[in-house]
Structure 1
Amino acid sequence: MNLLLIGSGGREHALAWKLSASPLCDRLFIAPGNPGTAACGENVALDVADHAAVVTFCRDRAIDLVVVGPEAPLVAGLVDDLAEAGIKAFGPRKAAAQLEGSKAFTKELCREFGIPTAAFARFTDEAAARAHVREAGAPIVVKADGLAAGKGVVVAETVREAEEAIAMMFGGGLGAAGTEVVIEECLVGEEASFFAIADGKTAIPLASAQDHKRVFDGDRGPNTGGMGAYSPAPVMTPALEREVMERIILPTVAGLAARGTPYVGVLYAGLMITAQGPKLIEYNARFGDPECQVLMPRMKSDLVPVMLAACDGMLSDVDVRWWDDAALTVVMATKGYPGAVEKGSVIRGIAEAEALDDVIVFHAGTKDDGGRIVANGGRVLNITATGRTVKEAQTRAYEAVARIDWPEGFCRSDIGWRAVAREEKA
């Protein structure tokens, strides 16, 4: 089979690494890809926002399956346009991708189909939003309705923080994403990420993970796109996973099918495990980043047949197998992230890091500059390791981090701390 993978980040490098290992994969193209994906297939300079160009490429190269990595092309309807051209694509169509594209859409779906989530209110007027926050008090969560590259959620500890977030969003700080805001109660508990794959009619579970959103050690500082992750998440027991499937994932798939907008692709549920049970914080319509970087090394099954079964509505015949080992990834970012960063600093030592057993370095924001690897964004490398325990994976990952020579970069030193503490207590 000829495969086309859409995207350029760490998630896509992890997917390219997994897809290229499939016996079904004859050729893998990545658009636009990065220096890491170039080792897994052929990077192509394709404007993925130009859907007609993507369709033409697929026809010219006899592409059998398109895998869409990031959320923006899904929300923009790339899968719809590929389907109309008779090209098989893994990922939800535009209508179903609103699960990620619109926070309000997802909250209303939860309300309609009885899916447990935080109490919420929607606002298109800044004054009304401010009044609601003053009445409700803090802590409280303010979310931009649309896509905001991981920067559209503010967990406000004070009313003032909430009002500042509201002013920023309505003031255009997040562009069109902030023209409507959703304000939610602040759930208390432990966060976890749970992944499933849906085929429009049903869904099967994949695996769990936990990520670290805050930029600094001890979960301090501003939220980011994710500074590291590990899998599995110890809080997600088999009984809890069954409850999430029965109360959250399957009702979502059934609800969307009942509305006439069936969901095909990865369902990434951001959860809060509360005293009342699991509640949905938000959905993403694709693999997480950096969660994908710890899921792919743990997946024993071939990913390509699973994706094909989802596209063909045949997931009930699929059984996805996983290695028992844990995986952990440490994100190395350019100093200044999540604020403004300077591009172009040289990174050395990647080969030395990957020389360690059970270590993979996934490229996220890198560029090949005449044979040198340079930083080309905020989150730049994902140093990933596996081990019998999270602690073992953590030790290996940080041993690999120590081999990376990049003075302009930084990372957290405590990725996996919660799971390691659990293991040490057990």
Structure 2
Amino acid sequence: MKILVVGKGGREHALLTAFNESPTETELYSFPGSDAIAEIATRVDVDGLEELIKWMLTNKIDLCVAGEESYLVTGEGLANLCEKEGIPCWGPHFQSAQLEASKEFAKEFMLRHDIPTGAATGCANIEEARAAINGVYPTVLKFDGLAAGKGVAVCPDEATAEEFLNEVLVERRFGEGRLLVEECLVGPEVSVFAAVVDDKYLIFTPARDYKRALDGDRGPNTGGMGAVASRQLVSQELLGQIEQQIVKPTVDGLVKDGLPYRGFIYFGLMITEAGPKIIEYNCRFGDPECQAVMPIVGGDLAQFCFDGAKGALNSDLLSFGEGWSVCLVRASAGYPETSRSGDVITGFDAVKGARVYHAGTRKNDKGEWETNGGRVLAVVAGGADRASAVEAAYVQLEKVTFPGMQSRTDIGTFNF
């Protein structure tokens, strides 16, 4: 089976690794890929999605898998272009991917289908946003479009709110777009993932990611400094409640609204005193949660995604481990405000009993691995219980080093 994965980061490295380890014989390709991904998948060098579609047709690709979200809403949309040419695609259509591409679209969808969420007001300018906040803090501010995981701010006071409003609506840090002023929900966060095929779904292992840069969930928001995954993360009772109140109504709502969906969907949840409420959707696997979840997914992911893209949800192709998986991110100097490239990375050969997924790395002229982005890599280890998985991951993380590296020391140790 010839599979092409679209993307270049740690999530795509994890997905391609899982496809490579599937019992189904695979021939793997990536676009645009990375030096690390190139060790298991051939990189495709074309200019843009239309040229990529032509390449897939010429090379008889059996399955296209959407990793990064941006390609789903670029131009006509990756899945839409694939469908036109009869290429099975694991990833939703452009119109369905608006659940992630537009926070306002997603909020209206949630309210229309009675899916528990926080109250929100859409705003076009800074005056409307100030009026919507109306002096109530803390408040949550969200840029309406895609912002690489950095378009959300939890503002405890007027000063922090004004700073973010200025960045989004005056300086246009993320480009043109509206802003959502949202009720600040309180409680532990949980990430739930499902594979959706039309009106059917399969829930994967729940996870929890750590967005803040510093220990104790302090510091600026990031794309994610680590994650844990386990079927023990939430009780079966709570997971059942999440399924009945959020997952199933979402899938039913997609069908009712005529929004085609075949692919992964992410539910970012807050477990409030009033029960689980959804914060946001992502129309693909989360990052770095994917790196934590994939090592405890057993079975044949390649065949599962191929069948799903063709319209069949074959749940019996997959199994899920009962233990814990812990993902620890190494970030470069200056992250998240900036990132530094060119720092040589050492210690990969010393890692034992753990996985290393590359996110922002490259090989230099000497053949050495070096930093090439903000979140550089993730080290992932497992264990029968949370404590043993955390210990195993940190032991192996310490072996991989580079100048200016940043990591949290408390991933998986609190907030459960």
**Shorter-chain TM-score category?**
over 0.9
CA contact (8 A) 2:207 2:233 kept: no
Map of 2:360 onto structure 1: 365
How far apart are 1:4 and its partner, in Å?
A: 0.5
User: Which letter does structure 1 place at the counterpart of 2:172?
Assistant: G
Q: Tell me, yes or no, if the aligned pair for 1:365 and 1:380 is still in contact at 8 Å.
A: yes
Is 1:386 matched up with 2:382? yes
CA–CA distance in structure 2, aligned partners of residues 159 and 310 of structure 1: 47
Offset from partner CA, 1:175-200 (integer Å, 9 cap, x none):
335x2011111001110100011112
Q: 2:200 aligns with which of 196, 199, 202?
A: 202
For 1:313, the aligned partner's letter is G
What is the letter of the counterpart of residue 386 of structure 2? V
* Aligned with residue 339 of structure 1, among 337, 340, 352: 337
1:220-239 aligned at under 5 Å gives the runs 220-232=218-230, 234-239=232-237
Q: Aligned to 1:303, which of 301, 304, 329?
A: 301
Offset, 1:318: 4.2
- Alignment partner of 1:169 is 2:159: no
In the alignment, which residue of structure 1 is the partner of 2:254?
256
Residue 285 (structure 1) aligned with residue 283 (structure 2): yes
SS in 2 for 1:15: helix
Superposition RMSD in Å: 1.5
- Between stretches 96-105 and 343-352, larger displacement belongs to 343-352
CA–CA distance in 1 between the matches of 2:393 and 2:334? 22
8 Å Cα contact 1:199-1:309 kept in structure 2: no
Q: Counterpart in 2 of 1:143?
A: 142
In structure 2, how many angstroms separate the alpha carbons of the residues matched to 1:146 and 1:380?
25
Deviations 1:237-289 (A, max 9, x none): 11111111111111111112111112221110000001111000000000111
Equivalent pair of 2:231/2:322 in contact (CA under 8 Å): no
Deviation at 1:405, TM superposition (A): 2.9
TM-score normalised by structure 1 residue count: 0.94
Any idea what the Cα deviations from partners look like across 1:84-139, whole Å, max 9, x if unmatched? Answer: 0111110001000001000001100011110000011111132121122134x100
Q: Please give the secondary structure, in 1, of the residue aligned with 2:22.
A: coil
Give the Cα–Cα distance (whole angstroms) in 2 for the partners of residues 262 and 54 of structure 1: 22
After superposing the two structures, state which structure 1 stretch, 311-320 or 189-198, moved more.
311-320
Task: Give the Cα separation in 2 of the matches to 1:15 and 1:317.
Answer: 18
Pairing 1:100-115 to 2, within 5 Å after superposition: 100-115=100-115
Q: Does the CA contact (< 8 Å) of 1:253 and 1:262 recur in 2?
A: no
| C-alpha distance in structure 1 between counterparts of 2:231 and 2:411, whole Å | 13
In the alignment, is the contact (CA less than 8 A) between 1:5 and 1:31 conserved in 2?
yes
Please list the CA deviations of residues 364-410 of structure 1 after superposition, one character each: whole Å capped at 9, or x if unmatched.
00001131111000000101111111211111111112111312212
Paired residues of 2:88 and 2:310 also in contact (CA < 8 A):
no
State the distance in 1 between where 2:399 and 2:151 align. 34
* Range with greater deviation from structure 2 (91-100 or 232-241): 232-241
Amino acid corresponding to residue 103 of structure 1 in structure 2: K
Q: Check the 8 A contact 1:210/1:232 in 2, yes or no.
A: no
Specify the alignment match of 2:399 in structure 1: 403
User: Shift of residue 317 of structure 1?
Assistant: 5.6
Contact 2:229 2:293 in 1 (8 A): yes
Look up the match of 2:414: 418
1:82 aligns with 2:82: yes
Q: Which amino acid aligns with 1:53?
A: E
Deviation of 1:23 (Å): 2.7
Instruction: Give per-residue Cα distances to partners, 1:32-63, cap 9 Å, x unaligned.
Output: 2223222222223334xx12211111112210
- Paired residues, number: 413
Inter-CA distance 415–374: structure 2 relative to 1 (3 Å threshold): same
Structure 2: distance between partners of 1:153 and 1:29: 33
Q: By how many angstroms is 1:316 displaced?
A: 6.3
Q: CA deviation at 1:142?
A: 0.4
Q: What residue identity is the alignment partner of 1:138?
A: Y
Q: TM-score, normalised by structure 2?
A: 0.96
> Residue 63 of structure 1: which of 61, 73, 76 is its match?
61
1:31 is aligned with what amino acid?
F
Partner Cα distance (1:310, 1:241) in 2:
23
CA distance in 2, matches of 1:46, 1:217: 41
* Separation of aligned partners in 1, 2:291 and 2:174: 29
The aligned amino acid for 2:163 is: E
Judge conservation of contact 1:394–1:415 (CA < 8 Å) in 2: yes
Residue 24 of structure 1: CA displacement? 2.0
Which stretch shifts more, 252-261 or 286-295?
252-261
Structure richer in helix, relative to its length: 1
SS at match of 1:321: strand
Q: Would you say the 8 A contact 1:133–1:163 is kept in 2?
A: no
**1:170 partner letter:** L
Which of 343, 347, 350 pairs up with 2:348? 350
After TM superposition, which residue ranges in structure 1, 4 or more long, deviate above 3 angstroms? 316-320
Distance verdict in 2 for CA 1:311–1:285, change over 3 Å? same
On the 8 A contact 2:121/2:180 being kept in 1, the answer is: yes
Asked if the contact 1:139–1:157 (Cα under 8 Å) also holds between the matched residues in 2, the reply is yes
Conserved? CA contact 2:19–2:26, under 8 Å: no
